Amino acid sequence: MAPSTDIGSSPGVIEGFFGRPWSWSDRAGYAGFLKEIGFDFYVYAPKADPHLRRRWREPLPAPSVEALSATAAAFRKAGLAFGIGLSPFEIYLEPEPDSSAVLRAKVAQINEIDPDILCLLFDDMRGDLPGLAGRQAAVLASIAELSRARRFIFCPTYYSQDPVLETVFGPMPKGYLADLGRLLDPEVGIFWTGPRVCSDALPPGHLEEIAGQLRRKPVLWDNLLANDGAKTSNFLHLRGVRDRPAGLRDGLAGHAVNPMNQAWLSRIPILTLSESYALGARYDPKRSFEAACRRLCGEALGSQIAADAALFRDRGLAGIAEDRRRELIEIYARFAGDPYAEELRAWLEGAYEFDPACLTD
């Protein structure tokens, strides 16, 4: 079992969104970036990887194992923990003998990659079942016996107080969170997104309330930057992060940022989160954002992004007139070869448009 529910005193990144995933080179590049800004970990859990999700029964393809092993090595070389998210889709609805055999094979294959952190993710699945917490806790216990991971984190089916979860996945069983807190080993971390799936802020007393139910401080799965939905894919969350004060981590066992679909552009607000934690009361979101743009993108491109950011985050792609959109595409084309500019141009051209099929893949 994991030595602690803590996954580090500093934040990390969980690539846990729907839609277009990052490239392997983008992921490997985050090792040096996260090390530089003082983050502790990265977790691979894109919803687009079917072999860790709906097709979890099938072995990971050999190229994926090779790429994951190389990525894990890059993060370890940088001194960061590397994690994998496994979502054995609705395994708790299946006959135990069959599912147990397949699960053993899957965990054995993940052991070949040797992740530091293994996350068992039961989000986005049916939950209106009697004894749900017990069924899910039993799966986690089985995995923990088989896995060589040093730390385990569990994502409940109901990972927020947001009523949308019960609308989509059925009514939450009575006492579900308290039952998880009682049944899961105390050393297992539990993900929580806050009062909403995408929580702008965490109200006073909220984390203490949830910690009381879970019998441990939660690990924040932070969707503040996520833009993988039908509406949110029209926006780029380019601003200095707000309502993530330095004192927030006192109520957390870890802080995992779920970024935008755009790997390079996500670095800008992620850098401001690092500064929010480091600077405390001296943190200024606007000043930090503008400085992050220049630091990461250079003076010319950084100033351009800072000038256009309000348009991208407030009006969004659908709110930009066609002639203005074409003008912006031409502007960012002048920075050809720069990954920040290339992502911006691709977004302006509609390359990140939401595809409903990603919800059922």
Which pLDDT score is estimated for 123?
Answer: 96
Cα(197)–Cα(301) distance, integer angstroms:
33
User: Is 8's pLDDT higher than 90?
Assistant: no
Q: Is residue 3 part of a domain?
A: no
Q: Which domain holds residue 172?
A: 12-284
Domain boundary (284, 310, 329) is at 284
Which pLDDT score is estimated for 94?
Answer: 77
Same domain, 208 and 141: yes
Same domain, 138 and 116: yes
Tokens representing residue 295 in the block: 């630091």
Tokens representing residue 52 in the block: 């860790």
Same domain, 223 and 306: no
User: Is 69's pLDDT higher than 90?
Assistant: yes
Q: Is residue 294 part of a domain?
A: yes
Which pLDDT score is estimated for 212?
Answer: 98
User: Is 6's pLDDT higher than 80?
Assistant: no
Cα(237)–Cα(298) distance, integer angstroms:
19
Q: Is residue 192 part of a domain?
A: yes
Q: Is residue 82 part of a domain?
A: yes
Number of independent structural domains in the chain:
2
Cα(141)–Cα(180) distance, integer angstroms:
12
Give the percent of the chain with pLDDT over 90: 92
Tokens representing residue 306 in the block: 């800072």
Same domain, 177 and 133: yes
Mean pLDDT (whole number) for 67-77: 98
Query: In sequence order, what are the residues at sequence separation of 6 or more whose Cβ sits closer than 8 angstroms to the Cβ of residue 334?
Result: 341
What is the CB neighbour count within 10 angstroms for residue 319?
A: 12
For residue 119, report the phi and psi dihedrals to the nearest 5 degrees.
-105, 130
Same domain, 48 and 140: yes
Residue (of 136, 141, 142, 178) closest to 157 by Cα position: 136
Q: Is residue 2 part of a domain?
A: no
For residue 142, report the phi and psi dihedrals to the nearest 5 degrees.
-65, -45
Residue type, 31: A
User: Is 3's pLDDT higher than 80?
Assistant: no
Cα(151)–Cα(83) distance, integer angstroms:
9
Tokens representing residue 148 in the block: 């060589």
Mean pLDDT (whole number) for 248-267: 97
Mean pLDDT (whole number) for 276-281: 95
Tokens representing residue 261 in the block: 């679909």
What band does 1 get if pLDDT is binned at 50, 70 and 90? very low
Same domain, 85 and 104: yes
Residue (of 87, 57, 49, 23) closest to 358 by Cα position: 49
Which pLDDT score is estimated for 361?
Answer: 65
Q: Is residue 70 part of a domain?
A: yes
What band does 358 get if pLDDT is binned at 50, 70 and 90? confident
Cα(300)–Cα(207) distance, integer angstroms:
41
Q: Is residue 24 part of a domain?
A: yes
Which pLDDT score is estimated for 66?
Answer: 98
Which pLDDT score is estimated for 10?
Answer: 82
pLDDT tens by residue, 313-329? 999 999 999 999 999 99
Same domain, 153 and 224: yes
Domain boundary (232, 257, 284) is at 284
Domain boundary (224, 253, 284) is at 284
Which neighbouring-strand residues pair with 155? Answer: 121
Same domain, 165 and 294: no
pLDDT tens by residue, 248-257? 999 999 999 9
Q: Which range has the worst mean pLDDT, 7-16, 133-142, 339-348?
A: 7-16
Which neighbouring-strand residues pair with 86? Answer: 120
Query: In sequence order, what are the residues at sequence separation of 6 or more whose Cβ sits closer than 8 angstroms to the Cβ of residue 355?
Result: 19
- Scanning the structure block, which residue is given the tokens 């990140």? 352
Which pLDDT score is estimated for 5?
Answer: 41
Query: In sequence order, what are the residues at sequence separation of 6 or more whose Cβ sits closer than 8 angstroms to the Cβ of residue 51?
Result: 58, 59, 60, 61, 64
Which pLDDT score is estimated for 96?
Answer: 66
Mean pLDDT (whole number) for 292-312: 98
What is the separation of C-alpha 246 from the centre of its chain, rounded to a whole number of angstroms? Answer: 20
Mean pLDDT (whole number) for 148-173: 97
CATH at residue 177: 3.20.20.80
Kindly tell me the burial class for residue 168, based on how many C-beta atoms sit within 10 Å of its own C-beta (0-12, 13-18, 19 or more): exposed
Same domain, 242 and 112: yes
Same domain, 226 and 92: yes
Evaluate the CA torsion angle 295, 299, 305, 309 in order and state its sign.
positive
Q: Is residue 7 part of a domain?
A: no
Residue type, 230: A
Mean pLDDT (whole number) for 280-294: 97
User: Is 2's pLDDT higher than 80?
Assistant: no
Q: What is the mean pLDDT of the chain?
A: 95
Same domain, 179 and 237: yes
Cα(258)–Cα(220) distance, integer angstroms:
10
Cα(85)–Cα(120) distance, integer angstroms:
6
Same domain, 187 and 116: yes
Q: How many CA atoms lie within 13 A of 206 on its CB side?
A: 15
pLDDT tens by residue, 75-129? 999 999 999 999 999 898 876 656 788 999 999 999 999 999 999 999 999 999 9
Which pLDDT score is estimated for 359?
Answer: 76
